[in-house]
Amino acid sequence: MFARAVFALAAAAIAPAAIAQGSTADEIAKYRAALREGNPAELWQARGEALWREKRGPKHVTLEGCDLGLGPGIVKGAYAQLPRYFADADRVMDLETRLVWCMVKLQGYTESDAKRNVFGSGNDKKSDLEALTAYITSESRGVPMKVPLSHAKEMEAYRVGEKLFFFRGGTHDFACATCHGEEGKRIRLQDLPNLMTAEGAQKAYTTWPAYRVSQGELRTFEWRLYDCFRQQRFPELAFGSEAAIALTMYLARNANGAPYDGPAIKR
Amino acid sequence: MIPSARVALFVLGAIAAGCATPVDEGEIAAKATAVIKASFKPAGQAGLDRLEQDETQRACSAAAGKALPRDIATKIEQANLATIRYPADGKFLGDWKNGEKIAQEGRGMQFSDNPSGPVGANCYACHQLSPAELSFGTIGPSLYQYGKLRGNGIEVQRYTFGKIYNSEAFTACSNMPRFGHKAILSEQQIKDVTALLLDPASPVNQ
Amino acid sequence: MIDRRRRTVLQSGGSATLLGLLAATGWLKPGEARAEAWNKGAFDSHSMPDAMKALGGTDSVVPSKDIVFFQTPEIAENGAVVPIGITSNIPKTESIAILIEKNPNLLAAVFDLPGGTEPTVSTRVKMAQTSNIYALVKADGKYYVATKEVKVTLGGCGG
Amino acid sequence: MSDPMKIRASLVGDSTEVKVLMSHEMETGQRKDAQGQTIPAWFIQNVVVTHNGKTVLAAQWGTAVAKNPFLSFKFKGGAKGDKVTISWTDNRGDKRTDEAVIA
């Protein structure tokens, strides 16, 4: 009771206008524009394209026969229609999961070999999956997002993803929605898109993968989810897990209609 | 703690209220729970127990971003209010300089963090505080001149300490962590952050 | 002429200055464009005060409005990558160097620009913290400088 | 082995604009690894750009140049179809040379 009365008093006080927010935002916009001049993601794209065409693995074949959803070997525009249901695997897959599938089925890698370096770290631990993802996604640049929900499992993934988006847990009570469920917010100086809206999801989803300046690495959407959960104080999100794919489905589908615009460069 | 029968009731109520397609909503919710359990691995200091929701987390998840009915919100707030342990010495204000460090520190309790390393409150991620820090978030309200606008009487001190200790006691389903209740910060750290907000010498109040 | 200027630099600094080091070890000698040349002394320089005393000395280094920063933000979202563009409108520009006052090693890069190459370069540097950036230009044997402060911010979720 | 550079050389008016991205760690020598050991400095020290055998840019770099370096500049005298060659050398003595055709 007492606390509530004080709270009312506290809430009644009017917060002063944020200082110099406008000019800070302008300067950050200039910083981002300057970075777009040259995006090191291109180095990953080039390596990924070479990997795609190289005969590799125990079976010594290329990945060019891999079906990313539009038919074997069709790369152009494939990412704009992922995740999707794949009958051969009888499950919904995102791009990274599908690449692992193709490395196993076509090239003969074991699943653990294919997943050895899902997230790269420096020169000694480069990730083939990140490079391949950079290449495949770059081939959808400018293609409108068109993620299907026609299969029952696609619909289920979407709806489960929506539930997970609101799941609060961990020591800090954080859910995806804590930071990404409102308009016009930012964390530190970084704008937070509202991922429940088409506009917000489009802005965010179509710019992953991205070269992360703070890490000096190209990062995929699987990594984006993994690292969000790390910072939410959750345990580790498993690569290619159902939760990762369901959330990706929720966000990718919400981004439908917007041209894909990655790989991008971000802080 | 809230008696569990009542909790179950208000969780169910919240689900029903947010229900768009009632046919298999429960099925999807059950699937989501199973997916969560199957998709994470323990890492560092973050065990799978962190996925076990308490009553507040469960109710706020089910609300799916929509406002809770007032009676349910009140129940959450009352239950959380009961958890607050105010300082035994009756003193709410610590060292604002240390409070500033805690407000800046973003590490703590992530699986990548050293368990014996620093644990901060990361206030600047969501709030403006000292005007010298340009890099502040806007998820929460600006706290610049927090004490200057409200005064720093004992009631404001007590409220502020309590809000940091357990934010859900005052606003159900707040985005703000429950720093004391979840043992993220120590009592002394909460006092230091309270001082950052209320001490007249703090840069927040200049 | 260069010798006299170097003396001035050394005298006003009271010790080996960065500029002194640059001159003494043959930095920016006309015609020098050898891949093997790497000026260890200049790149190992750790302190700015001496260097800045020298840079402020009008006889040796002249502050110039003809050196322009472009694509250089006042606030960097991350210090790991800070875009820096420098154009010199000073005739006969031979070299452009980038120095960052508060970095552990001050000198970031030196670009020698033979005749026919435009006096403008754009690259990206790391900044340990908010700092002044110096664009040092050598033109027709003389040194000129321009300064810009870049604020480095903390970003993201913080961990 | 290092990855190829990504070079773009394009004619803008009577100048050739060169933009290059290089794959390199540019390790400062200031950082420590998880075990507390200092990670040794490893960085590109020299960059030379030539056009028709003539040097059009020679750079010396320190550890403060950002990881996966980017460089952009312009020179006069290039023509479409000409080759621009870029070489770097790092402090371990590793070298790499790549070329691009002016478009």
Distance from CA of C154 to the nearest CA of A (A): 7
Catalytic residue among A66, A176, A179, A228: A228
Query: Does residue B83 lie in a domain region?
Result: no
Instruction: Check residue C41 and give its pLDDT.
Output: 74
**Is residue B158 located within the same domain as residue B105?**
yes
pLDDT of residue B24: 84
Query: Does A100 share its domain with A191?
Result: yes
In a domain, C22, yes or no: yes
C156 contact residues in A (CB cutoff 8 A): 187-188, 190, 214, 267
Q: Which residue of C has its CA nearest to A215?
A: C80
Give the Cα separation of A9 and A134 in Å (integer): 53
Asked if residue B133 belongs to a domain, the reply is: yes
For residues A153-177, average pLDDT? 97
* Domains of chain D with CATH codes: 6-101 (2.60.40.10)
DSSP 8-state symbol, A267: -
- DSSP assignment of chain B equals ---HHHHHHHHHHHHHHT-S--SSHHHHHHHHHHHHHHHEE-BTTB-GGGGS--HHHHHHHHHTTSPPPHHHHHHHHHHHHTT----TT------HHHHHHHHH---SSSTTS-TTS-----GGGT---STT------SS---TTHHHHH---HHHHHHHHHHHH-GGGTSTT-SS--TTTTTSS-HHHHHHHHHHHH-TTSGGG-
- For residue B22, the tally of other CB atoms under 10 A from its CB is 9
Does residue B76 form part of some domain?
no
A121-138: per-residue pLDDT in tens?
A: 988 899 999 999 999 999
Please report residues of C whose CB lies closer than 8 A to that of D60: 37-39, 43, 109-110
Tell me, yes or no, whether A87 and A153 share the same domain: yes
Q: Quick one: C53 exposed, middle or buried, by C-beta within 10 A (0-12, 13-18, 19+)?
A: middle
Question: For position C142, what pLDDT does the model report?
Answer: 86
State how many domains chain B has: 2
Tell me the two tokens of residue A84: 């999707």
Q: Which residues of chain A does C157 touch, with a Cβ-Cβ cutoff of 8 Å?
A: 187-188, 231
Q: What is the pLDDT of residue C159?
A: 60
C-alpha–C-alpha distance, residues D64 and B87, integer Å = 49
Same domain, A64 and A190: yes
Q: Is residue B78 part of a domain?
A: no
Closest CA to C39 of C103, C109, C93, C86: C109
User: Closest approach of chain C CAs to the CA of A13, in angstroms?
Assistant: 28
Using pLDDT thresholds of 50, 70 and 90, give the confidence band for residue A224: very high
Residue C13 pLDDT exceeds 90: no
Residue C77 sits at the chain A interface (C-beta within 8 Å): yes
CATH of residue C96's domain is 2.60.40.2470
Find the CB nearest B106 among C151, C153, C159. C159
* Residues A75 and A106 reside in one and the same domain: yes
> pLDDT digits over C111-144, tens only?
999 999 999 999 999 999 999 999 999 898 888 9
Q: Which residue has the tokens 């200790």?
A: B165
Number of domains in chain A: 2
Cis peptide before A83 (omega within 30 of 0): yes
A56 strand-pairing partners: A61
Check CB contact of A216 with chain C, cutoff 8 Å. Answer: yes
| Burial degree of B21 (CB within 10 A; 0-12, 13-18, 19+) | exposed
Angle value at C-alpha D21, between A75 and A62, nearest 5 degrees: 30
* pLDDT at residue B42 in the model: 98
Q: Is residue B51 part of a domain?
A: yes
Helix, strand, coil shares of chain C, percent, nearest 5, are: 20, 35, 45
Q: What is the pLDDT of residue C40?
A: 76
Looking at residue B179, which CATH number applies to its domain?
Answer: 1.10.760.10
Percent of chain A's residues with pLDDT above 70: 92
The nearest CA of chain D is from the CA of A51 a distance in Å of: 12
A79 and A211 together in one domain: yes
Note whether residue B77 is domain-resident.
no
Domain check: are B62 and B126 in the same one? no
Phi, psi at C122, each rounded to 5°? -135, 130
Confidence class of residue C47 from pLDDT cuts 50, 70 and 90?
A: low
Q: What is the pLDDT of residue D65?
A: 98
All residue ranges of chain B with pLDDT < 50 are: 1-23
Q: Do C39 and D60 touch (CB under 8 A)?
A: yes
- Which residue segment(s) compose the domain that B28 sits in? 3-67
Low-confidence ranges of chain D (pLDDT < 50): none
Burial B82-105 (b: 16+ CB within 10 A, else e): ebbeebeeeebbbbbebbbbbbbb
pLDDT at D33: 85
Report chain C's mean pLDDT, rounded to a whole number. 76
Backbone angles phi, psi at A266, to 5 degrees: -135, 165
Q: Is the pLDDT of residue A155 over 70?
A: yes
Work out the percent of chain C whose per-residue pLDDT is above 70: 67
Q: Do A166 and A86 belong to one domain?
A: yes
Task: Kindly determine whether residue D67 and residue C118, on different chains, have CB atoms separated by under 8 Å.
Answer: no
Whether B51 has its CB under 8 Å from any CB of chain A: the answer is: yes
* Integer Cα distance of D5 and D97 in angstroms: 8
Q: Which amino acid is at A216?
A: G
Least confident of A171-185, A242-256, C33-47: C33-47
Instruction: Name every chain A residue with its beta carbon within 8 A of the beta carbon of C159.
Output: 230-231
pLDDT at A61: 98
Question: Kindly report the CA angle at B185 between B166 and B74, in degrees rounded to 5?
Answer: 5
N- to C-terminal Cα separation, chain A: 45
pLDDT at C68: 97
Q: Do C117 and D64 touch (CB under 8 A)?
A: no
Listed in sequence order, the residues at least 6 apart from A12 whose beta carbon sits closer than 8 Å to its beta carbon are none
- Torsion over CA: A18, A19, A24, A26 (sign): positive
D-interface mutation test, from C117, C126, C133, most D Cβ less than 10 A away: C117
Instruction: Tell me the chain B residues in contact with residue C157 when contact means C-beta distances shorter than 8 Å.
Output: 106, 122, 125
pLDDT of res. C22: 56
D94 touches chain A (CB under 8 A): no
Instruction: Say if the Cβ atoms of A43 and D68 lie within 8 Å.
Output: yes
Name the closest residue on chain C to residue B139, using Cα atoms.
C157
Residue C2, pLDDT > 60, answer no
* Number of domains within chain C: 1
Tell me the Cα Rg of chain C. Answer: 15
Q: Is the sign of the CA dihedral B52, B55, B60, B61 positive or negative?
A: positive
Residues 60-79 of chain C whose Cβ lies under 8 A from any Cβ of chain B: 75
In chain A, % helix, strand, coil (3-state, to 5) comes to 45, 10, 45
Interface test with D, best of C25, C126, C131, C133 (most D CBs within 10 A): C126
* A170 and A254 within one domain: yes
Does residue C139 form part of some domain?
Answer: yes
Residue A79 confidence class, pLDDT cut points 50, 70, 90: very high
Q: Sorting pLDDT into bands at 50, 70 and 90, what band is A69?
A: very high
Q: Does residue B88 lie within any of the structural domains?
A: no
pLDDT band at A6 (very low <50, low <70, confident <90, very high): very low
**Residues spanned by the domain of C37:** 2-152
- The phi, psi pair for B157, rounded to 5°, reads -60, -45
Range(s) of the domain holding residue A27: 2-35
Per-residue HEC secondary structure of C21-86 comes to HHHHCCCCCCCCCCCCCCCHHHHCCCCHHHHHHHHHCCCCEEECCCEEEECCCCEECCCCCEEEEE
CA distance B37 to B51: 7
Same domain, B104 and B188: yes
Q: Which of A84, A175, A78 is nearest to A136 (CA)?
A: A78
Shared-domain flag, residues B105 and B54: no
Q: Minimal CA–CA distance to A208: which of A174, A248, A236?
A: A248
Looking at per-residue confidence, does C36 or B195 come out higher? B195
A228 is catalytic: yes
Single out the residue of B155, B147, B173, B159 nearest to residue B76, CA to CA.
B173
Examine the domain organization and report whether A216 and A196 are in the same domain: yes
Residues 114-153 of B with CB under 8 A from A: 124-126, 128, 131, 134-139, 141-145, 149-150
Same domain, A232 and A131: yes
Check if the beta carbon of residue B164 is closer than 8 Å to that of residue B180. Answer: yes
Most confidently modeled range among B13-22, C15-24, C146-155: C146-155
Residue A76 reports pLDDT greater than 90: yes
Looking up tokens 């960097």, which residue turns up? C76
- Tell me, yes or no, whether C159 lies in a domain: no
Q: pLDDT of C77-112, one tens digit each?
A: 999 999 999 999 999 999 999 999 999 888 999 999
Q: What is the 3-state secondary structure (H, E, C) of A67-80?
A: ECCCCECCCCCCHH
- Does A30 lie in the same domain as A45? no
pLDDT at C105: 86
Give the pLDDT confidence score for residue B4 in this predicted structure.
44
User: In chain A, pLDDT over 90 holds for what percent of residues?
Assistant: 87
